Every structure is written in structure tokens, then in C-alpha cells.
């Protein structure tokens, strides 16, 4: 009986919940980066990164990840 309950919960609650979350993420995606606010406590570089020019993180995305001076154009 316990297996039937968990199977029912999976199909009735979990799968529709995942679908609603996927729909929410799809509708909220605008493709535009958030507004850049130059907070002093964020993006502190005490030493350069050991790759590239030293200012870009390893998984840098120029459209969504700003540098300390702002977004790349």
C-alpha cells in the first residue's frame, strides 16, 4: 500500500509541480541583464584570477555577469 501512495503522490503533486516551476522559469526569462548597481562590497578583486586578463571569472558570461566597472558592451 505504501508504494501506491508514493506513486500517486509523484504523479499528482511532484510532476505537476515541476511543470509549474519550468513554466515560471520560462516566463520570467527576459534575456536582459539586471540593472548594474556598483555596490562597494561586491566584486572585490584582492588579486587577479590566474587565467585570461585576471578580471573575468572562470565561467564568465558577458551578458549576465558584470565586471567591477559594469557590464561589457
Mind listing the pLDDT tens digit for each residue in 5-61?
999 999 999 999 999 999 999 998 877 888 899 998 988 889 999 998 999 999 999
b/e per residue 62-72 (b: at least 16 CB within 10 A) = eeeebbeeeee
**Residue numbers of the domain that contains 69:** 35-73
Is residue 21 located within the same domain as residue 3?
yes
What's 45's domain CATH number? 4.10.95.10
What pLDDT is stored for residue 33 in this prediction? 84
Is residue 43 located within the same domain as residue 67?
yes
Is residue 21 located within the same domain as residue 41?
no
Is residue 43 located within the same domain as residue 23?
no
CA distances from 10 to 3, 6, 19, 58, 63 (A): 11, 6, 12, 38, 37
Is residue 17 located within the same domain as residue 44?
no
Amino acid at each position: 500500500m505504501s508504494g501506491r501512495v508514493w506513486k500517486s503522490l509523484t504523479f499528482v503533486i511532484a510532476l505537476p509541480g515541476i511543470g509549474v516551476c519550468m513554466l515560471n522559469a520560462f516566463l520570467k526569462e527576459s534575456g536582459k541583464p539586471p540593472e548594474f548597481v556598483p555596490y562597494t562590497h561586491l566584486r572585490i578583486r584582492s588579486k587577479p584570477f590566474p587565467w585570461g586578463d585576471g578580471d573575468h571569472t572562470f565561467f564568465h558570461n558577458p551578458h549576465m555577469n558584470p565586471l567591477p566597472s559594469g557590464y561589457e558592451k
